Structure 1
Amino acid sequence: MAHDSQRQALSAAAHWVARLAAEPGDPALHAAWLVWRDETPLNQWAWQRVEHLRHQLHCLPGALTVNVMDAAADQSRRLGRRALLKGVLIGAGVSAIGWSGYRQAPQWMADQRTTTGERHSLRLDDGTRLSLNTASAVDIRYNAEQRLVILRAGEILVDTAPDPRPFLVRSAHGEMRALGTRFDVRQFEDFTAMSVLQHAVAVRLGREPAETVVTAGQTVTFDAQRMLSLGANEPGEGAWAQGRLVVDNWRLDRLVAELARYRPGYLGCATEIGHLPVSGAYSLDDIDLTLNALTHALPIRLTAHTRYWTTLGPRA
């Protein structure tokens, strides 16, 4: 099965990390590793995933390090304590990322990406301004014929610069062609949402040749087969690029779900209070401040079991 081959590649990559760390000056070993890495795209992907985990080893708690080392004590004589630690920890990590990691490989290997709670803006070669929202990833493919941004995950805000080449954004569900414009694109699992802030954007679904023009002030949602909805932009569309979330008569549970995008761990809302209406502008740079503001404005209370498990419930 494909799943098994992916796990095998990840396991092999972890083994190579340990061997290379144990014998860093061996040219023959380094050459053999290069042959293995470049042998298949799957090996290249597995090595990149394992390298990502290796660079995060310093974040592991000391107790976990001790437990892993004790479990592998009988092997430590062969590879050495430091090299073995890397290999064992990575081996444990790759079994957890397995299939889900393979599915997300394009996101991890994207040209530009952000983590949870992070936003990033950059200026492309043609002068176009591209902003990435939390947990987002894009590939940038410019050539002589076109300017293409492939949205792998999350949400982007595009402010295009004048250029004779067409500017395209491609999501999992279709392609958007800018008509001298500023627009926001968010990719969900089953559909894409696109809001035009200035001028217009032509939308093409899947492989269909026909385009639908969406003008300023409109938001469209679509999947690969059909347009799902077309309506007016919500107030504050694209304000996330300035660190604000603007809401107008939202349900509280919707607001909490949106805030959860910017906060590691779990952030939830009890069903008893989910219907409460909320309006205002809230900070995305300090989610704790936003949550505290909500508890003062509404009959709700906040319960934090840890930094990574927070719930909102009815006030006693």
Structure 2
Amino acid sequence: MRYRTIGTDPATRREVSVLSLGAMLFGTATDEATSYAILDRYVEAGGTFIDTSDNYAFWQNGGQGGESEELLGRWRRSRGVGGEVVIATKLGARPLAPGTSYVDNAEGLSAKVIRESAERSRERLGVDRLDLLYAHIEDHTVPLEETVQGFAELVAEGTVGLLGASNHRAWRVERARALAAAAGLPGYEVLQYHRSYLARRPDLPSDLDPDGDVGWVGPDLASYLRAEPRLTLVAYSPLLKGAYAKPERLGEDYALPSTPARLAALRAVADETGATVNQVVLAWLLGGDVPSIPLVGFSSVAQLEESLAAVDLELTPEQRTRLDTAR
């Protein structure tokens, strides 16, 4: 396993593995025994960066969220896991009532919600401090100043370490960071968005935003990350739910003129390296012009093993150029 440092403040920065384990479906679609097996193997291989949220997975079995955090809490206690494993969680997108969703009934990012939701997450996870806490989605009903202050208070109290934002427009991230800096408060240092080798169609709406430009790394956000190298990008859904191995699953989101050429380049590099296409995608993310920590979810230990092998895959500059320029 390889590692990198996230955060800049010596009091809160952490060293984490360059492959992050997504626990979204642990405790719901992925049963407890399988979840424990994946977690155990990940840690055995040197993995130290696990991702969850207080709303995972509310859409499974009519739940309201919290199941993933609860499972991670049970696993931590049963294995004696302590601060050596960094667990990141999120708040803001938990539905307020069963049968509703974050689209129309989210908890939001008020100071009250931030405090109360973070406390519940600590209880479920069984920790005194949340290593990394994200604002999961935007909340247009609350002033950014209130959200920034609400997160900063928890850092000052020692119940939260690093702060992050997920699925926010780049300008809102920058505005929140500027407000925090002006007030001498801690701001967002880790950003979590969808990023993969194939580009997503920018003209399609998403459930996060009808304009379709929220939640994924497009040109604007990529440019921002290049200009702010102290920020860390955590890239979720990098393997497109298995679609690289089975391109027929791609769907209209990736129906761009460049897609066939990029898939061909990907397969060619995979053949040259003896790796799988999934491993090449992860290696491309790890060492790209916007270095990313891939966040990958698994439903079996075998899937995890494939991704673990990608950590040691080194692409040559020529291979990277071919992958980057394929059109």
Which structure has the highest strand share of the two?
1
TM-score over 0.5 for the pair: no
Under a length normalisation based on structure 2, what TM-score does the superposition of the two structures give?
0.29
Under a length normalisation based on structure 1, what TM-score does the superposition of the two structures give?
0.30
The structure having more radius of gyration, on CA atoms, is 1
